[in-house]
Structures are given as C-alpha cells and as structure tokens.
Structure 1
Amino acid sequence: MAITTLRDVVVLDCPEPGKLADFYARMLGGKVEGEGRWVEVTFDSGALKGRTFAFQEARGYVPPQWPSAERSQQFHLDFYVPREELDAAEREALELGAELLQGDGGERDFRVYRDPAGHPFCLCVE
C-alpha cells in the first residue's frame, strides 16, 4: 500500500533558477512564475497542462557530468518529438542554450543534451 502520492511537480537544483526556468519555459511552451531562489514553469495547455516544473537555487551546485561515475546524472528528462521534427527541435534547443552531448548518428531514436545548468536531457523520437 502506498504511503504517499506523487504530484505533478518536478524540481531541479541549479545555480540560477530564473535562467533555467526561462530555458525550459521557452523549450516546452510554459510560463515562468516567481523569482529568486524558487522559480516555477507552469503549463496552461497541451500534454503538460496542470504540471509544474520548478527550479530551486542550490548554493555550491556542482553539475552532473554525462557519462560519469564520479558525478553521475542521478536522473534525466526525456522529451518526445515527431521524427520529422527532431532536427528542428535540436536547432531550437541549441539556440536556447542546450549543448549536444551525443547525437544519434542516424542509428538511434534519441539524442543527449545538457541544459544551461548541466542537467542531461534527451530529445527522443515519439
């Protein structure tokens, strides 16, 4: 039997919550709310409607390295894109400040990136 519930909120530690919130709001089509040490991105429509993506300031934040056993990613986010839109989604993510860590070489259905705070995420073919 469950002892708790999981709400529709994901929280990432980072050095600059507003900056990272802006990155994800622009990438996912959300709205930035708040400022300072805790900033949220909310969604009024689409598949993320009703969910919240939050960013909290972490003093002394050390970004994960991918791949690395010493500074492992802990977790990552997968974002899905239609195959025919994958290249365009990659261009937009890079323009927003993402960094490509591993392309697909035309052989896989995902590409690995790092957000501006260093968290790994993937663009995956839906």
Structure 2
Amino acid sequence: MALAKLGVVVLDCPDPGALARFYAEVLGGTVGREEDDWVELSVPGGQTLAFQRAAGHTPPRWPSEERSQQFHLDLDVPDLDAAEEGVLKLGATPLDAEDRSRSFRVYADPAGHPFCLCAC
C-alpha cells in the first residue's frame, strides 16, 4: 500500500504568474488559486502544477554538474516540430534540440527550468 499520494508539483521561479501562464499555454488548463507568491495551474487529467516565488532564484543549467537540473518535466506531444514552434513562441529556450533523429528535444521554460518535448 502506498504511503502517500502525489499532490501538487511545485516549481520555484521569480514570477509565478508568468510561469503559470506559460505552462497554461503549453499544457492547457486553468490558472486557479493566485496569491502574491503562489499560483496554481489545474492541468487536464487532474494533476496540479504550482509556481512559487523564490527570491534570488537561480535557474539550473543543463547539462551541468555544478548546477544540475534536479528536476524536469517530460511533455508528450504528437508532433515535435509543431510543439517546438509553439513553445518557442511562448518564450522557451532550446537547450538541446538540434538532433532531429531523437524522439525528444530539451528546452528551458522562461524561468530556466529544463523540460523535454517527447514524441508520443
């Protein structure tokens, strides 16, 4: 029997509202509870992402041993090229997207968190 149930996945960032809107455009969903230092995004399928203001936030580097990513999101997409075009328009930065033969591409969200677009 499980000891716990996954609740909210929380990403530290300098601007919770802006990052919630970025992921709302990428994943769909509704920005819900919004406080000064905390914003929640209800994602289709039931999971909630939250974004918490972190003073002095230093984004991870990918790849890096000194400032490892520590955590990243894998986002399944039916069309890598179309999804890439969309996330770049929303402000994502390519980190490792040059190899078009792979089934995934790596980007950073506007706060610097790595995420992957993965062909499904």
Bin for the TM-score computed over the shorter chain: over 0.9
**Is 1:37–1:56's contact at 8 Å kept on the other side of the alignment?**
yes
Any runs of at least 4 consecutive aligned residues in structure 1 with deviations exceeding 6 A, and if so which?
none
Distance (whole Å) between structure 2 residues aligned to residue 18 and residue 100 of structure 1: 22
Q: CA deviation at 1:65?
A: 0.5
TM-score normalised by the chain length of structure 2: 0.92
Residues 76 and 120, structure 1, Cα contact 8 Å, conserved in 2: yes
1:11 aligns with 2:10: yes
Please tell me the residue identity of whatever aligns with 2:17.
G
TM-superposed CA distance for 1:104, in Å, is 4.8
Give the whole-Å Cα distance in 2 for the aligned partners of 1:94 and 1:77. Answer: 16
2:70 maps to 74
| Aligned match of 1:54 | 50
Say how many residue pairs are matched: 119
Task: Please report the RMSD computed on the Cα atoms of aligned residues, expressed in angstroms.
Answer: 1.4
1:96-111 equivalences in 2 (<5 Å): 96-111=90-105
Residue in 1 that maps onto 2:22: 23
**Within 5 A, what are the aligned runs for 1:80-119?**
80-82=76-78, 85-119=79-113
Gap runs ≥5 in structure 1: none
Which 5+ residue runs of structure 2 have no aligned equivalent? none
Paired AA for residue 105 in structure 1:
D
Structure 2: which amino acid aligns with 1:115?
Answer: D
1:53 alignment partner AA: L
**Percent of residue pairs bearing the same amino acid type:** 61
Task: Provide TM-score, normalisation by structure 1.
Answer: 0.88
